Amino acid sequence: MKHIEVTGDERTLTFCAYCGAPPVTRDHVPPKALLDKPYPDNLPVVGACASCNAGFSADDQYLACLLECTIHGSVAPEQLSREQVRRTLASRPAIRARLAAAQVRTDERSAFRAEVDRVNRMIQRLGQGHAMYELHCIQHEPPLYVVFAPFCLMTSEERASFETPPEPSLLPEVGSRGLTRVVDEGFGWVEVQAGRYRYLAWCGPGVHVRMAISEYLACEVCWQ
């Protein structure tokens, strides 16, 4: 990723991105569980308190494994393409068993019942991280909405709407990475790792963040 220095007021960055407590640790947004090695340079990082950061790992692994198993229709490590997920399922039988119990087989395909609350929580957390990193916006209140859907289930019109950057009605804070990107490159998607993760963050009305994970899951979270 392109490295962008923050030149604006950094006081909004001196809080945990997720709860507002003092940020004694650093959290990658997106987490490395959603990316492949070698990891990109200049991964987005935000401040996080120890309590929030400690509670993220299980959700990170769950979402990474859920997506990979869904894409390949299997919980068998040897049938998956992502090495990190193969290792996780091979070494953590409880995660594999949980996903296997959520698998639904039909004559034509295999699907998985997602733990919706858990996925919503993960998407909200990603949105909070991107809002702080990109826009200098702290979002500690519950979002207006969290939505997600596989690209394969979207209509062509829905996919086009998701992919098309909207026209922001407000510019990001002066000195923020978001404003620097708008000035240098125009408003558009930020690619963290090709084929794995990209995001789009903008202001007005409200704060919006879209994410595409593994080019399979389309996500959006919005705050008023």
Beta bridge partners of 217: 150, 213
R_g over Cα of the chain: 18
Tens digit of each residue's pLDDT (9 = 90 or more) over 116-171: 999 999 999 999 999 999 999 999 999 999 999 999 999 999 999 999 999 888 88
Closest CA to 71 of 157, 151, 158: 151
Q: Which residue has the higher pLDDT, 11 or 207?
A: 207
Contact predicate 103/110, CB 8 Å: yes
**Position 12 confidence tier, pLDDT thresholds 50, 70, 90:** confident
Residues with Cβ within 8 Å of residue 178, at least 6 apart in sequence: 134, 135, 136, 172, 201, 202, 203
Tens digit of each residue's pLDDT (9 = 90 or more) over 55-113: 899 999 999 999 999 999 999 999 999 999 999 999 999 999 999 999 998 777 889 99
User: What is the spatial distance between Cα 205 and Cα 197, in angstroms, rounded to a whole number?
Assistant: 25
pLDDT of residue 8: 65
Residue 9 has pLDDT above 90, yes or no: no
- Cβ–Cβ contacts within 10 Å for residue 55, how many? 13
